[in-house]
Amino acid sequence: MARLDPVEKEQASAEVLEYYSRDEEKYGVVLNNTRVYAHNVAILRTVKTLAACFEEATLLPPSLKALVRVRVATLNGCPF
């Protein structure tokens, strides 16, 4: 059972809807974590900025980053 219900599109503010649109453009859906962080716009903005910084990092090639994400998800028991 979720402790915090995701914010549905119909309930989202205009600023949050911008992040929902970006998710839909990139992934085809609004990510669940985006919908949960949408309860607090400042946290949503910060998390999305942090994720973008990781994406821009060039220490690892993109293909290896993807493998690392899958491995971490597996270790955490997350159905990636």
- The DSSP symbol for 5 reads P
- Residues 6, 36 contacting (CB under 8 angstroms): yes
- Residues 35, 7 contacting (CB under 8 angstroms): yes
Q: Tell me: pLDDT of 80 over 80.
A: no
At 79 the pLDDT is 73
- Residues 16, 42 contacting (CB under 8 angstroms): no
List, for residues 21-45, the tens digit of each pLDDT value: 999 999 999 999 999 999 999 999 9
At 1 the pLDDT is 61
pTM over 0.85: no
Q: Tell me: pLDDT of 3 over 90.
A: no
User: The tokens of 41 are what?
Assistant: 């716009």
Element holding 45 (H helix, E strand):
helix 41-56
Residues near 68 by beta carbon (within 8 Å), at least 6 away in sequence: 60
